[in-house]
Amino acid sequence: MNALRSNRFRTIAASLLFVIAIVVVNFVTRGNFLTPHNLTNVLRQIAQNAIDAVGQTFVIVTAGIDLSIGSLLALCGVVMARVVNASGLDGPLAVLLALVVGLAVGGGAGAINALPVVRLNLPPFITTLAMMLVARGLAFTISGGQPVTLHATAFNPIGTGTVLGIPFAVVIMLVVVAAFALVLARTRFGRYVYALGGNEEAARLAGIRVQRTKLLVYVISGACAGLAGLLEMSRFGTGSPQTGSGYELQAIAAVVVGGTSLAGGRGSIVGTFLGALFIGALYNVMNLANVESYTQQVVLGVVILLAVVLDELRKRYL
């Protein structure tokens, strides 16, 4: 009964806060936020980060961390652009080729991230930090330090096109979010991810292949970075070695704001999506309200801290 009561209270409180927030936002943006065009814009802006954050969620639920995704995104973009250019292909085949290459490079790098973690029990902070440097360096080496301009035109619709008025990138993001939400919440693999994040030894003694599960988690994270890299490359028509810096932290922020515990064992993909959406909306509102970009950073930092503190207080006292 108590739980029910507090659940209901929470729902009411959340709804109330939401309504107040909307009113305030509408006021400071002079009504420019709640327009279909602007909301679509917000979704398009968060697509890349949301996809990164989906992969990151898997890693963080196992109590790990993946710092390499920003660099991997750039590396995948550069490699994809080079390979597609070299193949001379265009049209759907070129896109398919890029997709395969991007997922392979990202996923492969994820596997390399994971190997020392599962075999030698090294901290993922270190292995992915190393990968962050290696991937960035490789991206510059492979591109010769210059953005690689795509010759194929088939990528333009992915970057800037729409389906039924919805940007293509947003469609991809929604598909990724929905699919991985099911994987984490409903499949055996997903359950094992939670189990080993919650208590690795208990998971091992229950017969779970802990090493394989962990490896897969980092592969997913790397592959998500590859997919995000494809979106980024399509949008700008180039594979840039400079892009993606700091994206890993944005993704981690979205995951944490979305209620996933850095200690592992707890969290959800839907929460992560809402976290990315929240951060994206906040940026958007600040832009509409003409908040200076330096100030935006301060606000964002404070908001992330507040979100986590509030979540902790809620867990303790509600």
Would you say 112 or 208 has its CB closer to other proteins?
Answer: 208
Least distance between other proteins and beta carbon 268 (Å): 13
Would you say 2 or 293 has its CB closer to other proteins?
Answer: 2
Least distance between other proteins and beta carbon 266 (Å): 6
Least distance between other proteins and beta carbon 191 (Å): 6
**Neighbour tally for 240: CB within 10 Å:** 21
Residue 239 backbone dihedrals phi, psi, to 5 degrees: -100, 110
Would you say 70 or 264 has its CB closer to other proteins?
Answer: 264
Residue 88 amino acid letter: G
Would you say 265 or 280 has its CB closer to other proteins?
Answer: 265
How many residues can be counted in the chain? 318
Task: Please measure the distance between the N-terminal and C-terminal CA atoms of the chain and give it in whole angstroms.
Answer: 14
Would you say 163 or 179 has its CB closer to other proteins?
Answer: 179
Least distance between other proteins and beta carbon 194 (Å): 7
Would you say 51 or 208 has its CB closer to other proteins?
Answer: 208
Query: CA 201, 203, 207: angle at the middle one, nearest 5?
Result: 110
Would you say 237 or 265 has its CB closer to other proteins?
Answer: 265
Please name which of 91, 74, 52 lies closest in space to residue 147, comparing C-alpha atoms. Answer: 74
Would you say 133 or 315 has its CB closer to other proteins?
Answer: 315
Least distance between other proteins and beta carbon 58 (Å): 17
Interface with other proteins (CB under 8 A): 182, 186-188, 191-192, 194-195, 198-199, 201-209, 265-266
Least distance between other proteins and beta carbon 258 (Å): 17
Least distance between other proteins and beta carbon 139 (Å): 36
Locate 176 and state its tokens. Answer: 């990724």
Least distance between other proteins and beta carbon 177 (Å): 17
Would you say 76 or 195 has its CB closer to other proteins?
Answer: 195
Least distance between other proteins and beta carbon 313 (Å): 18
Calculate the CA dihedral of residues 183, 217, 98, 227 and round it to 10 degrees.
Answer: 70
